[in-house]
């Protein structure tokens, strides 16, 4: 199978499995797992944040952040295609008791500007308006096609938000991909946010885990909420050991995934009925519209599966994600098979 459904499907490398087998462990609920502690210290150092918390998933990291930054009855602002809004099963309303005010970015890459955010805010409004409590950004923007937001763009939003006492949370599930594409450090890209979540288990290849980072007090409180949500893990150094390799080694090769994604985008852009601006593909995600092919996206995905290629369909589009288990040969095969299906 050539599995292009997501970079979440990556399997741990031999090096990760060895480190997992040999990991020193302790009870992390008591804060006594040395490998988890090392991972948290290392992540905080790399991101230039005071502290970090190892979470079971990106969703949990995001939801703890939303909970801690807001009060029930408030609104959070997020781009219309944002993951926290669409793919976390309404958790902001369940966990934090907040509503979501989504804003559609004019740019189809999903990146919001302050001019788009500002009219959606409820600040200093009459008491019966629902007050804004948080702005959530996403970098890379998954359903914006893996698009990237520069430190300047984030900085502008952060500066304006802070002038209004509004915190900013960054869903940086794939922030290392953004850093690679922009040739920028993750520290710089997450400087302008009060908290950031990134995933070890996507393109970085760890089997499980995400990190939530922020100020020391925020992370102490996040530890309480992680446990409350059932995310207190015990001898979890076996997972943190893989996470340490993901954090320090895997970013070095992400450019290969980006090259493969570009190759794939250029290949499919030439196929009849497919619409994608290949030159806009910046990281490891490509999303293309198939409405002019005469087939639905679901039909195409079924036919791809018969050819041992997996992709995800939604609406009129198909998403394909490159990762280290996909080679440039696999990309060529995918383009060839897709061409046959569309003929
Ligand atoms: N994204 C998954 C699916 O849920 C869509 C994927 O295959 O891309 N933030 C962003 C931007 C994400 O893309 C994801 C996962 C998450 C958060 C949640 O991470 P997990 O799956 O660890 O809860």
Whole-number Å distance between alpha carbons of 210 and 61:
7
- Show the tokens assigned to 300: 């195409």
Q: Which atom of ligand 1 is the closest one to the Cα of 6?
A: 7
Name the residue with the closest Cα to ligand 1, atom 17.
58
Confidence (pLDDT) at 318:
98
Nearest atom of ligand 1 to the alpha carbon of 60: 23
Instruction: Enumerate residue ranges in the chain where pLDDT < 50.
Output: none
CA of 81 to the centre of ligand 1 (A): 12
Residue 256 · residue 98 · CB < 8 Å: no
Per CATH, domain 8-248 is 3.40.640.10: yes
Q: How far is CA 95 from CA 62, 90, 149, 289, in A?
A: 11, 9, 28, 35
171 Cα nearest atom in ligand 1: 9
Cis peptide before 166 (omega within 30 of 0): no
- Return the pLDDT at 271: 96
- Quick one: pLDDT at residue 51? 98
CATH number of 253-342: 3.90.1150.10
Count of C-beta atoms within a 10 Å radius of residue 271: 18
Residues near 53 by beta carbon (within 8 Å), at least 6 away in sequence: 40, 61, 64, 211, 212, 213, 219, 222, 223, 226
Ligand 1: distance of its center to the CA of 57 in Å? Answer: 9
Pocket test for ligand 1, best of 142, 170, 190 (most atoms within 8 A of CB): 142
Q: For residues 175 and 141, what is the distance between their CA atoms, to the nearest angstrom?
A: 9
Tell me, in angstroms, the distance from the centre of ligand 1 to residue 73's CA: 26
Distance (angstroms) between ligand 1 centre and the Cα of 43 equals 19
Residue 110 and residue 138 in contact, taking contact as beta carbons nearer than 8 Å: yes
Sheet with 312-314: strands ordered across? 285-289, 317-321, 312-314
C-alpha count within 13 angstroms, C-beta hemisphere, residue 18: 4
Which residue owns the Cα nearest ligand 1 atom 19?
58
- Nearest protein Cα to ligand 1, atom 20: 58
Closest to 7 (Cα-Cα) out of 325, 323, 221, 268: 323
User: In 3-state terms, what secondary structure has residue 139?
Assistant: coil
Q: Find the residues whose C-beta lies inside 6 A of ligand 1.
A: 6, 8, 57-59, 62, 83, 87, 138, 142, 171, 173, 199, 201, 210
Probe ligand 1: pick from 4, 5, 59, 60, max atoms within 8 Å of CB?
Answer: 59
Rounded (10°) angle between helices 14-22 and 237-248:
140
Q: Are strands 309-310 and 99-103 parallel, antiparallel or unpaired?
A: unpaired
The pLDDT value given to residue 298: 98
> Distance between alpha carbon 11 and the CA centroid of its chain, in Å?
18
For 255, the token pair is: 């450019």
Distance 7 CA to ligand 1 centre (A): 9
Which residues make Cβ contacts (< 8 Å) with residue 329, sequence separation at least 6? none
Is the previous residue joined to 140 through a cis bond, with omega within 30 degrees of 0? yes
Answer positive or negative: Cα dihedral of 168, 58, 230, 78. Answer: positive
* Minimum-distance ligand 1 atom for the alpha carbon of 56: 22
Residue ranges per structural domain of the chain: 8-248, 253-342
């Amino acid at each position: 199978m050539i599995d292009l459904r997501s970079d979440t499907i990556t399997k741990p490398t031999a090096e990760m499995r060895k480190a997992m087998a040999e990991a020193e462990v302790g009870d992390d609920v008591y804060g006594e797992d040395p490998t988890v502690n090392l991972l948290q210290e290392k992540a905080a150092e790399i991101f230039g944040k005071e502290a970090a918390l190892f979470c079971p998933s990106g969703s949990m990291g995001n939801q703890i952040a939303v909970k801690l930054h807001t009060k029930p009855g408030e609104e959070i602002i997020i781009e219309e295609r944002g993951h926290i809004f669409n793919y976390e099963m309404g958790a902001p309303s369940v966990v934090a008791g907040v509503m979501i005010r989504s804003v559609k970015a004019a740019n189809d890459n999903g990146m919001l500007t302050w001019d788009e955010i500002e009219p959606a805010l409820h600040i200093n409004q009459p008491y019966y308006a629902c007050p804004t409590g948080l702005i959530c950004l996403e970098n890379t923007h998954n359903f914006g096609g893996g698009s990237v937001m520069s430190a300047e763009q984030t900085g502008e939003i952060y500066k304006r938000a802070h002038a209004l006492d509004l915190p900013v949370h960054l869903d940086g599930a794939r922030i290392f991909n953004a850093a690679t594409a922009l040739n920028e450090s993750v520290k710089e890209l997450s400087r302008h946010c009060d908290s950031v979540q990134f995933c070890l288990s996507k393109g970085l290849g760890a089997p499980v885990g995400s990190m939530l980072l922020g100020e020391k007090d925020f992370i102490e409180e996040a530890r309480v909420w992680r446990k409350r949500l059932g995310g207190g893990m015990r001898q979890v150094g076996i997972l943190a050991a893989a996470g340490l390799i993901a954090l320090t080694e895997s970013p070095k090769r992400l450019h290969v995934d980006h090259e493969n994604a570009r190759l794939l985008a250029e290949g499919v852009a030439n196929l009849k009925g497919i619409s994608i601006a290949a030159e806009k593909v910046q990281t490891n995600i490509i999303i293309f519209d198939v409405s002019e092919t005469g087939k639905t996206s679901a039909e195409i995905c079924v036919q791809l599966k018969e050819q041992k290629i997996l992709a995800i369909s939604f609406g009129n589009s198909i998403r394909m994600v490159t990762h280290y288990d996909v080679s440039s040969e696999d990309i060529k095969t995918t383009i060839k098979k897709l061409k046959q299906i569309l003929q």
